[in-house]
Amino acid sequence: MKGSLDFSGMGKEIKTNAMRILDRNKIPYRINLYECSEFIDGIHIADMLGQEYAMTFKTLVMVGKSGQYYVFAIPIDREVDRRKAAKAVGEKSLEMVHVRELNQITGYVRGGCTPIGMKKNYPTILQESARDLKEIIISGGRIGAQIFLSPEDLLKVTGGSYADVIVS
């Protein structure tokens, strides 16, 4: 893949918190760095980089009626089904966290938000379609960085689980 690098040769200056956590847990991954003056959305980035939508995942942060935050990683071209997502985490209902609150809650900005290494370890759900993939692409923890890793390794490092949470 063009621009894709093995993590082992990377210098400290480009390591994000997510990458340091993967290193600490001895989880293999690759990174891809790309130029991005302004983040539009994941589909735009995947198109720009020639990546398959089904293996490229966006990170959504939602809050339950209980006040608990939850993280959902779903394919970039799909929408979360709030009813299915709420059921998956045992909530009555869920609302999307407003983009202006994202950094305060997660430590990440829109376009650079990844399920790995948020300020707190929130319950994480990975769309079950990832189960069939050898490798998925998630944000690398900053705009212009992606992490390629196995879905199982993502669940291992986040303590997450699979569930069907997308609109059918």
Residue 74, CB-side half-sphere exposure with 13 Å CA sphere: 20
Q: What is the DSSP letter of 36?
A: -
Query: Residue 119 is encoded by which pair of tokens?
Result: 């300020």
Stretches in the chain below the pLDDT threshold 50 = 1-12
Domain ranges of the chain: 4-163
pLDDT value of position 136:
98
Top-tier CATH class for 4-163: alpha beta
User: What gap in Å lies between CA 7 and CA 10, rounded to an integer?
Assistant: 6
pLDDT, position 5: 45
Query: How do beta strands 4-6 and 136-139 pair?
Result: unpaired
25-70 tens-digit pLDDT: 999 999 999 987 766 788 989 999 999 999 999 999 999 999 999 9
pLDDT the model gives residue 3: 43
Q: What is the pTM of this model?
A: 0.90
Q: Which of 29, 62, 26 is nearest to 145 (CA)?
A: 29
Residue bearing tokens 């979360």? 80
